[in-house]
Amino acid sequence: MFVQSPVTYVPNRQVEQLLEALDTLPDLYVTLVPRGMMPLKPPPSEAPQQVKEVQLRSPLEIFLAGLQSVGSWKGFLGYAACAGVVVWIGLFTNTIYLLTAAMLIAPFAGPAMNTAIATARGDLYLLKRSMIRYGAGIAVTVVVAGILSVIMQQQAPTSLMMASFKVSSVTILLPLIAGTAGALNLIQSERSSLVSGAAVGVLVAASLAPAAGLVGMAAAIARWDMVVNSLFLLVLQLAGINFSGAIVFRLVGLSATGARYNRGKRWLFPVGLGIGAVIMAGLLIAQLWQEPTLQRTSLEQRTSTEIQQVVEESDFAKLVQSNVQFTRTKIEGQNTLLTVVYVQRNPEVTASTETIQTQLTEAIQSHLLEQDFNVTPLVQVTVLELPDVSRK
């Protein structure tokens, strides 16, 4: 017996309404084909204007696409292990472009965005699965990087490790933007998105892959301050991505109930957002309280500004350049801030080089201590002389 199946084309925003109307039919089979279409209608002269009407994906398509993207455990853990190897090579050899490669292959964007979808939809089952996969992927990357550091008998952090574990006071903005960008990429139709999914995935994984690898490497060399900072980044990323992503998904129509879906919990969305807000607020309070441990990048920039002010207020010299950084080695009981300052003697100054160095060093150290940065500033001032044009 030949059975003809009707094919119906409907706008994205009407998919769920159509399915709800068809659910009254017995033994209904539906196949969704979410492809970009170019509907043309008379008059022909309006075709260019008609094809520009690209709509967002339907909430049902977004939700089902998230479920389909889960994939197998073997592939997921395999990619997480590969990301751990690549990020370890990058951090161990100070090769920064390998960190970008690790972000490309790290599979963390999927679980992170599925967590946001589950929060917006109120799906406890999907939320649990996404959290488990997220934790498993992070754990694999951490273990792989740690084992490689042990095998290579690493004893001290590399310069790229030191740069990667620093936290800024504006770090909270990255996961919020990443969650928003990831959600926008998933809700847009294929033909309306100018940004590839891979690019958005790199943004979502920007602080996940390096931070996960850094946890393993830092634990292998017993640098627990780096471990704490990296764990801070990981938790902040998950909370921020879920918070902003869930809000965007909810705004486009993902809710606890809908066509072909009735297991959503209405309370999960507000509770999930509340928990995320509490976590982010707690981390921000900890960041302010743990100064300078969780604000090293910001403190380095602020210190450079303070040094410029001190030198400008002096009559000895003009600032040429200042290099400020927390040291790679950790001295017990102090937060060592190494400051190397290059200045140019003012033409009318007749004081000796040693006098200028001593005066500026004392002025810079005293000023930094007055700022209550909770650091131990070690300052080296180098006085540069203008070339003697009379020797030409």
Within 10 A of 246 (CB to CB), how many other CB atoms are there?
Answer: 26
**What does the pLDDT average to over 123-133?**
89
Give the pairing of strands 317-326 and 336-345: antiparallel
Q: Which residue has the higher pLDDT, 111 or 144?
A: 144
Mean pLDDT of 354-364: 91
Work out whether the CA dihedral 169, 174, 180, 181 comes out positive or negative. Answer: positive
pTM for the structure as a whole:
0.77
Q: How far apart are CA 186 and CA 244, in angstroms?
A: 14
Q: What is the average pLDDT score of the chain?
A: 83
- Mean pLDDT is lowest, of 54-58, 198-202, 388-392, for 388-392
What pLDDT was estimated at residue 192?
Answer: 65
Domains of the chain: 59-290 (no CATH), 297-391 (3.30.70.1350)
Averaged pLDDT for residues 119-143: 91
**CB neighbours (10 Å) of residue 276?**
23
Instruction: Please give the pLDDT value at position 221.
Output: 92
Q: What is the pLDDT of residues 314-334, one digit of tens each?
A: 888 889 999 998 876 777 778
pLDDT per position as a tens digit, 232-261: 889 998 899 999 999 999 998 887 776 666
* Confidence bin at 1 (pLDDT 50/70/90): very low
pLDDT tens-place string over residues 33-60? 766 667 777 777 766 776 666 677 777 7
Least confident of 26-40, 127-141, 374-388: 26-40
Taking only the tens place, the pLDDT of each residue in 283-314 is 888 877 766 667 788 888 889 999 999 998 88
Decide: 144 and 91 in contact? Cβ < 8 Å.
Answer: no
Q: Is the pLDDT of residue 138 over 50?
A: yes
Residue 136, pLDDT > 90, answer yes
On the question of pLDDT at 231 being above 60, the answer is yes
Mean pLDDT confidence for 167-187 = 85
Mean pLDDT along residues 205-231 = 88
Q: What is the mean pLDDT of residues 2-10?
A: 64
CA distance 319 to 306: 12
Q: How far apart are CA 79 and CA 108, in angstroms?
A: 9
Nearest to 345 by CA among 307, 388, 382: 382
Residues of the chain above pLDDT 70, percent: 84
Closest by CA position to 154, among listed 11, 328, 294? 328
pLDDT tens string 97-114: 898 888 888 888 888 888
pLDDT for the residue numbered 111 = 87
Half-sphere exposure in the Cβ direction for 374 (13 Å, CA) = 10
When comparing pLDDT for 194 and 370, which is higher?
A: 370
Residues 292/296/299/303 CA torsion (nearest 10 deg): 110
Using alpha carbons only, what angle is made at residue 288 by residues 219 and 328, rounded to the nearest 5 degrees?
A: 40
The predicted pLDDT at position 335 comes to 82
Lowest-pLDDT choice from 11-20, 99-108, 282-291, 338-347: 11-20
For the segment 136-152, the average pLDDT, to the nearest whole number, is: 95
Residue 227 to residue 218: CA distance in whole angstroms? 6
